[in-house]
Amino acid sequence: MTPSIASRLAKLNPRQQEAVRAIDGPCLVLAGAGSGKTSVITTKIAYLVQECGMSARRIAAVTFTNKAAREMKERVGQMLQGREGHGLTVSTFHTLGLNIIRGELKALGYKPGFSLFDPEDAKALLRDLMNKDAQVDAEAINQVQAAISNWKNDLVLPGQALSHAADDGEQFAARVYEAYVRHLKAYNAVDFDDLILLPVTLLRDDPEALARWRRKIHYMLVDEYQDTNVSQYQLVRMLMGERQTFTVVGDDDQSIYAWRGARPENLVTLGEDFPRLNVIKLEQNYRSTGTILRAANTLIGNNPHVYEKTLWSNMGQGEAIRVVVNRHEEAEAERVASEILTRRIKERAEWRDFAVLYRGNFQARLLELKLQHYQVPYKLSGGTSFFSRGEIKDAMAYLRLLINPADDNAFLRIVNVPRREIGPGTLEKLANYATDRGTSLFAACHELGLAEQLPTRAVERLGRFTHFIDGVRRRMDGGDALAAIREMLRDMDYEAWLYQNASAPTIAERRMANVWTLIDQLEKSMQADPEDRAEEATASTATETDDVESAISRLVLRDILEQQAEEDDSDRVQLLTMHASKGLEFPHVYLMGLEEELLPHRNAIEVGTVEEERRLAYVGITRARRTLTLTLARQRKAYGELMDCTPSRFLDELPEDALEWEGRADREDPEKKQARGQDAIAGLRSLLG
DNA sequence: GTGGACTCGATTTTT
DNA sequence: TCGAGTCCAC
């Protein structure tokens, strides 16, 4: 054994070592919160390369978020030396799918330069399709979009959706689905769900492609396996087929995305599909105090389990979990804010050591006000994405059209931005003509027959636009693609258009700066993997335009830009939803709003998914390293009305002796309690009297 | 193009 | 209740 891998292994506990060494067959690692699962995955990759002599280019590790992929890549990079890690795949499921599609364009019937539609682009297309017959409201579009996404995630194709439609609504959605798929194909475009669906159907239907990818990937590792959906599981299954060499790591107790298609039962299915499955449990927690873990264990003990596990730690018992009952929501926010302020001094902690977790984003509003009042620096997760900004959508549409002239969506977005006096009338006639001829809008502009359908002036204007785009494209192919893009933005004077349309010059300035940031990011993204690029370039005849193309896709997948946001590691209190907190840890955690109807959420109670809410609470609790404070309000304003709140059932499910209550009405000293009882009786009498 | 009146909804959102 | 988003009149 090489010394470096031996010392890595020695740092792991026996169960973790077992998980690393289990390489001959299918392996499921049930990794409790804080049990060092990332160490297992990264060490296992190093073990496969250094100890088993497997080439890194035969290994694929997949995660759900770009962030997780980046962190994993970095940790593996530290373990492997020199060229050992060359060609290793550590990516999200979606990026893996994107690469498969890029490698199998012909087999899939797509052309080079295909566009990747983000959910907003997809919605725009659906709106178009659904509004053809009658005006449809936004809600209906959202519903159909969700239905289509669910179908795709469940590997249900339009034909099957149509034949299984139970009612008119589903039938309608299924017909839109069919049209949607057809249009995407015509646009030479794929959506996010296609990034998994298309590879799965290809591998299922094309034995040669299957053989190609099985030859390429010999070992897979999957993180957060409980969050996989049907199509993601099938992708892993198809790729690992007969070889059965994979490791999946997950925790059914942290499954909080079932509402979005995740199938935690994939953990069980795995045992059925692979009888040789080696199940290894990691139960030692390296994060939290004994008290916090005991509370977490007791709470989650109320959920049914296929695989029982109990977390333990040797970090000492630590402090009791405090439960603070407040008069109302404002008092709750006030309390949390002021407590962070004092605790920071008392504990000599930094702002970043604190996190406040809540069920819904709206809960952050009041808290923000209080934190501002006390001048506590904080960072709010979520918020409007860079990519939903209009100027970014415009720039992305230009890029997409340059790479993929069939992308009608991109064409429509920017054909008249900045103004080129190409109005709805012209576009409608152009669309009719293109439909008749079975071509894209952009291609139709080049056709001579168009002159018969449109006034000369309109044809001229369209021609000027396409000529402009064609010119940029030629410059891109001829050399420095990014220089051509920057030149394009200057030539068409996008900046002037921004100034015309902004309410203030500073806003226009900021927007233009955003566009340049986007282009800078594009450049960075192209330089991100010089090794891979070199490899691709030798393997095929990759041009710089190909690089721009793949960089744009990565940009759509939110890869590189969010990295920049992360690098801002200023010292601030974190405000997060419990969902967003998964995978993170903090010395001091505040969990707000432990009330019935909020956590568990009322909708969850209604539809009977309290178990997932319990897991959500479990995730929240297990984020805490040293101290945990749970807060709730007796009254809360909801829908404009003041509502009395009931403490969350989850509080009753925690071990009484691990909690330290503050302000609880029915656990005060008996005298007070009796006094209030008298009051109540008196009140009742007065009511009756 | 813009702002004021009006309507509607109110949980979470890895890519 | 409050706020975001939509729509219409100017």
Per-domain residue ranges for chain A?
5-104+199-282, 115-187, 312-377+570-688, 387-528+542-563
Q: Report the amino acid identity of residue A247.
A: T
Catalytic residues of A: 37-38, 223-224, 254, 623
Which positions on chain B have an atom < 7 Å from some protein CB?
1-3, 9-15
- Judged by average pLDDT, the poorest of A18-22, A244-248, A580-584, A667-671 is A667-671
Considering the domain delimited by A387-528+542-563, tell me its CATH architecture: Orthogonal Bundle (1.10)
pLDDT attached to residue A479: 80
Q: Which residues touch strand B (CB under 7 A)?
A: A 64-67, 92, 94-95, 119, 139, 192, 224, 227, 256-257, 259-262, 359-362, 381-382, 501, 503, 557-558, 562, 577, 579-580, 601, 603-604, 607, 639-640
More confident of the two residues A84 and A688: A84
A687 touches strand C (CB under 7 A): no
Is A36 part of any known ligand binding site?
A: yes
Please state, in angstroms and rounded to a whole number, the distance separating the CA atoms of residues A411 and A441: 7
More confident of the two residues A288 and A6: A288
Q: Report the amino acid identity of residue A248.
A: V
Report the 10 Å Cβ neighbour count for A556: 20
Q: How far is CA A368 from the centre of its chain?
A: 24
Please state, in angstroms and rounded to a whole number, the distance separating the CA atoms of residues A516 and A494: 11
A362 touches strand C (CB under 7 A): no
Is A261 part of any known ligand binding site?
A: no
Whole-model pTM: value is 0.88
Question: For chain A, percent helix, then strand, then coil, each to nearest 5?
Answer: 60, 15, 30
- With a cut of 50, say whether residue A605 has pLDDT above it: yes
pLDDT attached to residue A213: 95
- With a cut of 60, say whether residue A587 has pLDDT above it: yes
Residue A394 CB partners (closer than 8 Å, separation 6+):
A413, A414, A417, A494, A515
Query: What is the assigned CATH class of domain A115-187?
Result: mainly alpha
pLDDT attached to residue A564: 63
More confident of the two residues A343 and A416: A343
Q: How do residues A320-365 score in pLDDT, each as one tens digit?
A: 999 999 998 999 999 999 999 999 999 899 999 999 999 998 898 8
- For domain A5-104+199-282, say whether CATH 1.20.1740.10 is its number: no
Flag residues 619-678 of A with CB < 7 Å from strand C: 637, 639-640
Nearest to A364 by CA among A388, A338, A349, A382: A382
Is A32 part of any known ligand binding site?
A: yes
Strand partners, A662: A324
- With a cut of 70, say whether residue A578 has pLDDT above it: yes
A134 touches strand C (CB under 7 A): no
Per the CATH hierarchy, to which homologous superfamily does domain A312-377+570-688 belong? P-loop containing nucleotide triphosphate hydrolases (3.40.50.300)
Average pLDDT, chain A: 87
Q: Which residue is listed with tokens 């962190």?
A: A71
Same fold, A5-104+199-282 and A387-528+542-563: no
Q: In what order do the strands lie in the sheet with A27-31?
A: A89-92, A59-63, A219-222, A246-250, A27-31, A278-282
Strand partners, A246: A220
Q: Report the amino acid identity of residue A131.
A: N
| CA A556 / C1′ B1 distance in Å | 31
Is A479 part of any known ligand binding site?
A: no
pLDDT attached to residue A383: 60
